[in-house]
């Protein structure tokens, strides 16, 4: 498998190699354009001085050899050709010591030779510094009125020992440091990514406790921080999901067992009509309870979807609440409760159906947990730029601890509430109000009652 670590190192080494190649080509171009002619001119001046001395100060053959030997000892390589074409080397010997015959004849005839010829031979600067007789400067020399040829170049061994060794050492050091730095940086960059990969595998196996030891201030550190936040949220969601499934299973199991048990009793032939009607009523109540629970689960699942379609239109809140109160008249009479309201005219641009669910749940809650002969009071008013709606009852009230959890799913305060409640009503109210850009709060006191307050921004009417 191709790992990111290997790919990163390969990419860096490739870039380094390409950079060195481009740098080498550019250096050769600089050499050809700026340096080569200058160095050739310097070598030509040295060769001309040697020729001047040979032609003007040494007029006999036997004095030429000692002079050229002394020049060779000063750091030059010399190839001296006599009229017959025979050559003698002074100073360091050449590795490549053969010159084309036409080159020798041309210099003996009085022409100059200016080093390697041809485009490619001139382009590569390393070839210029090689120990090759073709890199020399050739000049004609007349000694005793006879034509000779002198080929001169700086000693390659001295040149390499000074400049080239330093350059080679510099390049090798840069290459080693670069490679080691790349390897260390690649390991530093890929190690936390490998850790993140292991953490994702743990999450795949539903292990949300994998510890990440990444403390960095760069993008990878931010990624690790975001991953930890995601891990915590997934853990919370997993706990909530399991709790949700457990609560749903329990709430479905109880009425189903009642329906099954009383259905079996209804099959008995020994039942009288009164018992049969009683058991059938229980089965009907439990079936209605299951139906209500199913509707609430479907609604809360829909609200969990980020793209829940909100159908907005102008809604007269005072009229809609009055309609909801009428639907609960029989419950109020059955429990001997009174209800009053003070509803100012208020129009909200919002979803009519979702708002009806909110009022229905809050009124149902006020009736269900009210005390005998209790009272329900509902108000709707406009305060500054907000629409305020309050649902107050004289019921059993909530403790401070219960008030903090009452909007959680499936939360029910006591066993009395578990009989006919699902624990979803107020959580649905909370989600709907939030979805409609509103807020809901409560104020409660044990034994005295509870007040739920819903606030909507009035400017939302223009949306």
Query: What residue ranges define each of the domains in the chain, with the CATH number in brackets?
Result: 4-163 (3.30.450), 219-301 (1.10.287.130), 312-462 (3.30.565.10)
Pseudo-torsion of CA 298, 303, 306, 310, nearest 10°? 110
Averaged pLDDT, 171-187: 78
Average pLDDT, stretch 326-352? Answer: 90
Of 61, 70, 39, 64, the C-alpha closest to 51 is: 64
Express each pLDDT in 440-461 by its tens digit: 999 988 888 999 999 999 865 5
Which pLDDT tens digit goes with each residue over 71-83?
Answer: 888 888 889 988 8
Residues sharing a CB contact under 8 Å with residue 334, sequence separation 6 or more, in sequence order = none
Percent of the chain, pLDDT > 70? 86
Of 338, 361, 337, give the one whose Cα is nearest residue 454. Answer: 361
pLDDT per residue as tens digits for the range 258-306: 888 888 888 888 888 888 888 888 888 888 878 877 777 777 777 766 6
Q: What is the β-pairing status of strands 338-343 and 375-383?
A: parallel
User: Could you give phi then psi for residue 370, rounded to 5 degrees?
Assistant: -85, 160
* Torsion sign (Cα): 306, 307, 313, 316: negative
Q: Is the pLDDT of residue 29 over 90?
A: no
* The pLDDT of residue 287: 87
């Amino acid at each position: 498998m191709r790992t990111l670590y290997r790919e990163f190192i390969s990419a860096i080494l490739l870039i380094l190699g390409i950079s060195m190649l481009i740098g080498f080509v550019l250096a050769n171009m600089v050499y050809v354009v700026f340096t080569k002619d200058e160095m050739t001119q310097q070598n030509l001046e040295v060769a001309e001085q040697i020729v001047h001395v040979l032609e003007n100060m040494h007029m006999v053959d036997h004095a030429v050899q000692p002079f050229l030997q002394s020049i060779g000892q000063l750091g030059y390589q010399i190839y001296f050709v006599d009229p017959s074409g025979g050559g003698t080397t002074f100073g360091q010997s050449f590795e490549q010591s053969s010159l084309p015959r036409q080159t020798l004849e041309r210099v003996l005839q009085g022409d100059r030779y200016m080093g390697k010829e041809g485009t490619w031979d001139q382009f590569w600067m390393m070839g210029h510094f090689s120990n090759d007789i073709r890199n020399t400067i050739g000049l004609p020399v007349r000694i005793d009125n006879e034509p000779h040829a002198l080929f001169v170049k700086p000693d390659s061994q001295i040149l390499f020992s000074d400049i080239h060794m330093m350059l080679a050492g510099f390049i090798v050091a840069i290459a080693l440091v670069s490679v080691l730095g790349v390897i260390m940086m690649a390991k530093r960059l890929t190690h936390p990514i490998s850790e993140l990969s292991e953490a994702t595998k743990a999450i795949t196996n539903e292990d949300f406790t994998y510890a990440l030891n990444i403390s960095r201030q760069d993008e990878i550190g931010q990624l690790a921080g975001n991953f930890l936040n995601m891990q915590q949220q997934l853990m919370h969601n997993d706990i909530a999901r399991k709790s949700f499934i457990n609560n749903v299973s329990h709430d479905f199991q109880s009425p189903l067992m009642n329906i099954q048990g009383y259905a079996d009793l209804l099959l008995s032939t020994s039942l009288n009509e009164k018992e049969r009607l009683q058991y059938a009523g229980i089965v009907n109540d439990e079936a209605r309870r299951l139906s209500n629970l199913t509707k609430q689960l479907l609604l809360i699942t829909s609200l969990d979807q980020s793209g829940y379609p909100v159908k907005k239109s102008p809604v007269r809140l005072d009229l809609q609440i009055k309609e909801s109160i009428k639907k609960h008249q029989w419950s109020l009479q059955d429990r001997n409760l009174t209800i009053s309201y003070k509803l100012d005219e208020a129009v909200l641009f919002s979803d009519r159906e979702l708002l009806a669910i909110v009022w229905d749940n809050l009124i149902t809650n006020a009736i269900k947990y009210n005390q005998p002969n209790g009272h329900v009071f509902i108000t709707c008013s406009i305060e500054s730029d907000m629409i305020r709606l309050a649902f107050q009852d004289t019921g059993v009230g909530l403790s401070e601890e219960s008030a903090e959890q009452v909007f959680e799913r499936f939360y029910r305060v006591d066993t009395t509430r578990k009989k006919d409640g699902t624990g979803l009503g107020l959580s649905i109210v909370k989600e709907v109000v939030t979805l409609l850009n509103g807020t809901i709060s409560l104020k409660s006191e044990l034994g005295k009652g509870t007040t739920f307050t819903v606030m909507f921004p009035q400017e939302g009417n223009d949306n």
